[in-house]
Amino acid sequence: MNIAEFCKLNRGAVERLLCGHDVHKADDEEKTKRRRKRWPFPGTVELWVPDDEGIEEHQLATCLDLSVDGVGLLHDQELPIGLQLAIAIHQPEVSFHGQAVIRHCTEIDEGIFIGAQFLFDED
């Protein structure tokens, strides 16, 4: 994919992607206090994780679910809560790039489930 095909991560772009699919809410949504629906959206996610000196390490994760406000990721290592990083989310129709902040990490059988909240310029 050409970098020119990347879309700036913004609320409207994510809403258009979600509305363009016959998406179903995640099974456990009714049990949570989420403000927004999350839908299963498998795909590749690129992370640029900064170290203590600000040098970014490129890492890959798997998108498990997606909402207008954030993304649930499967990763092989924990990331610090509150860490702000660059992110690119790849779906067949579009690739987004922008910023996110890590909100939680939970160990599951498959690896580490990470919740990341999008940071939009308009917020």
- What are the start-end ranges of the E strands in 51-120? 56-66, 70-75, 84-90, 95-108, 111-119
In this prediction, residue 38 carries a pLDDT of 63
> Is residue 46 pLDDT above 70, yes or no?
yes
Q: Per-residue pLDDT for 29 more than 60? A: no
- Asked whether residue 56 is domain-assigned, the answer is yes
CATH code, domain carrying 114: 2.40.10.220
* Number of structural domains in the chain: 1
What's the whole-number mean pLDDT along residues 92-97? 86
Q: What is the pLDDT of residue 24?
A: 46
Task: Read off the pLDDT band of 93 (50, 70, 90).
Answer: confident
**Predicted local confidence at residue 23, as pLDDT:** 53
Q: Which domain holds residue 59?
A: 3-21+39-119
CA–CA dist 118, 66 (Å, integer): 10
